[in-house]
Each structure stands twice: as C-alpha cells, then as structure tokens.
C-alpha cells in the first residue's frame, strides 16, 4: 500500500530519536501522480483534435481553441514524461502548462468554456508543489 506521508527511520547519528518526514519521497510520489494526470490531459486534448467530440480536426472550432489544444496536446504528455522521470525540466514544463491552462481558462472563458474543476485542480497542484519543494529544501538544509 502506498503511504502518502512516509517517515524516515530515526537518525542515531545526532542522538535524535524523532522520526523525520521523508519529503523527497513524497515529492517523487507527487510527481508520479501529476505525470499520470498530465498524460490523461494530453490524451483528452489529442482526442479533441482527432474528433472524439464529433468534429475531426476542429472543422467548426475557433482558431484559438484549436491552437490551445495543439499546444496542450504536445506539452502535457512531454511534461508527463519529465515528471515521471522526476527531472527538473519535467517540473518546469508542467508549471508552464499549468500556468498556461490557468491563464487561458480564466482570461477566455467564452472560448474555452467554464473549466472551474480543472482550474481548482491545477491551483491545488501548484500549491502542493510549492509546499513540497519548500519542505525538501528545508530538510536538505538541516
């Protein structure tokens, strides 16, 4: 069973018997969950482009809608690979995709529709990433 908040074994080098949270492993798990989510989002964008919604290659869609779908159809799966590999470029591409998605959904709701659940998920994920990287940096400084 996956444990979301893993604890390290108590350290005996400094005499401290308190268990320490293993934030690095939590960040890796967070990246893997995000990678699956990004891959799913990329597949949804590809399905929209290929006509799963009824219009193949957006024959009746606005140019802005098509260009955004192409952008995310490429960026989401690539960032998913980088996140799964826990590489820094994967996190950067994911942040670029998440901030772009937030900006597009908030700035142009008449073109892209009301995607408030997606906006909420992306905002929570960005907050979680900031929190986990802060904790990893804090533990590594100790």
pLDDT in tens, 129-142: 999 999 998 887 76
Contact 124, 117 (CB under 8 A): no
Does residue 84 fall inside a structural domain? Answer: yes
User: Under 8 Å CB-to-CB from 90, ≥6 apart: which residues?
Assistant: 31, 35, 79, 80, 81, 82, 83, 84
Q: Residue 117 pLDDT more than 50?
A: yes
Domain of 113? Answer: 24-141
Please state at what angle helix 23-50 crosses helix 63-84, rounded to 10 degrees.
150
The domain tally of the chain equals 1
Does residue 38 fall inside a structural domain? Answer: yes
Cα separation, 83 vs 107, in Å, equals 27
Residue where the block lists tokens 């529709």: 113
- What are the tens digits of pLDDT across the range 42-97? 999 998 888 776 766 656 777 888 889 899 999 999 999 999 999 999 999 999 99
Does residue 3 fall inside a structural domain? Answer: no
Please give the pLDDT value at position 1: 44
Q: Residue 20 pLDDT more than 70?
A: no
Q: Residue 120 pLDDT more than 90?
A: yes
């Amino acid at each position: 069973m996956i444990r979301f908040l893993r604890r390290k074994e108590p350290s005996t080098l400094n005499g401290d018997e308190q268990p320490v949270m293993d934030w690095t492993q939590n960040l890796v798990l967070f990246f893997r969950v995000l990678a699956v989510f990004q891959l799913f989002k990329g597949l949804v964008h590809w399905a929209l482009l290929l006509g799963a919604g009824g219009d193949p290659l957006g024959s009746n869609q606005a140019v802005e809608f098509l260009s955004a779908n192409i952008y995310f159809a490429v960026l989401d799966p690539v960032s998913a690979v980088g996140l799964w590999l826990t590489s820094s470029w994967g996190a950067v591409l994911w942040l670029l995709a998440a901030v772009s998605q937030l900006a597009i959904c908030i700035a142009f709701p008449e073109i892209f529709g009301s995607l408030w659940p997606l906006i909420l998920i992306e905002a929570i994920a960005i907050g979680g990433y900031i929190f986990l990287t802060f904790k990893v940096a804090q533990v590594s400084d100790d």
